[in-house]
Amino acid sequence: MALTTSDQGISLIEEFEGCALTSYMCPAGVLTIGYSHVAAGLTLGHTISPAEADALLRSDLKGLEQVIHRLVAVTLTQNQFDALVSFAFHLGLDNLKASTLLKKLNRGDYEGAADEFLRWNKVAGNALPGLTQRRTAERDLFLGRA
């Protein structure tokens, strides 16, 4: 049976994404609500309940999960899968597809893949504490240390 994101993985994503129950314009100029959910037809000031935010997140994760299953050629633990989902949710599937992390993982180099999480903590060449914290948490989860 194919892995799906566990409650622990969802909690990690929720912790770092934060939840906005009222829609807002994100820094990229996209209307966003809940845990970084975007949707056509969303209007500024739209509100949702915490349960709706959770349901939107779980729905958004389904598509990521399916693609990760297609991209990864090796067996994953639940923690490894959850860490990859968090990574892809935050950085996008295109970044995961092109990453050395995925290349190392598919060669069976789990330790090397784990270390690659830490390379994704920069914006415009500058390491950001929040990104370092998230990538460290994802790496720790990937390694079963969370």
DSSP 3-state percent helix, strand, coil across the chain (nearest 5): 60, 10, 30
DSSP 25: E
C-beta of residue 133 within 8 angstroms of C-beta of residue 86: no
Bridge partners for 126 per DSSP: 123
Catalytic residue set:
17, 26
Count of residues making up the chain: 146
What gap in Å lies between CA 95 and CA 104, rounded to an integer? 14
What gap in Å lies between CA 32 and CA 123, rounded to an integer? 21
